[in-house]
A and B are shown apart, each in its own frame.
Chain A
């Protein structure tokens, strides 16, 4: 199965779980975001399970299938204002 490149942008407390605010990984084409979340748990810890995954315009559900290379934002629990 071919692989796709995923660029992940980290925010909030997640920025400090990684050496860089952006991570680049490869996943199998056809993986879903639940698979991605499991993959990230080893490097980002339990906070990934409370975090949302989004593209530039919306939050994506865990059932979302990764068909092609893409950029995703990893959004930990929010606290604005």
Chain B
């Protein structure tokens, strides 16, 4: 079973480099999702977004989500999860998720699962910087610990 390729760092995400990590010849489908910094949100012009992360737990959560996808869609699943931290300009890739599967249906489903789970479970935060000069941390999903 291949290992997952997990990364979280300041360096720019290079899709052409990540693409080489999905290499199973039995896979007929690869899906790549790139989350990109966009120039508008909630009616405001955005210049940049700063990403903050609690790195050790974030990487662990990425890996857990990939394990869950593999348990659900098949042991052959290959996955790449790469997330930026630091200040990114409009158009830069904030997150890249790649999955390889024998067929497209499982590839699409597992890709969607990984990004949706990452957004609500990984300890990551983003602060938008607006053209007017101010900046704001975006509201998010609470990680429950009140049990």
Contact = CB atoms under 8 A, between A and B. Distances in A.
Interface of A: 9, 11-13, 15-16, 33, 50-54, 56-63, 73, 75-81
A79 B140 contact: yes
Chain B CB within 10 Å, residue with most, of A51, A54, A78: A78
B145 A79 contact: no
B52 A56 contact: no
Interface string B108-139: 00000001001111111111000000000111
Contacts of B143: 51-52, 54, 59, 75, 77-78
The prevalent SS among residues of B at the interface is: mixed
Interface residues of B, number: 34
Contact of B57 (A16, A62, A73, A81): A73
Interface of B: 35, 51-54, 56-58, 60, 83, 94-95, 115, 118-127, 137-147
A78 B120 contact: yes
Nearest to A74: B54
Contact of B124 (A15, A50, A57, A80): A80
24 contacts: A9-B54, A12-B125, A13-B125, A13-B137, A16-B137, A33-B145, A50-B142, A52-B142, A52-B143, A52-B145, A58-B60, A59-B57, A59-B144, A62-B145, A75-B143, A78-B121, A78-B122, A78-B140, A79-B124, A79-B139, A80-B53, A80-B124, A81-B95, A81-B115
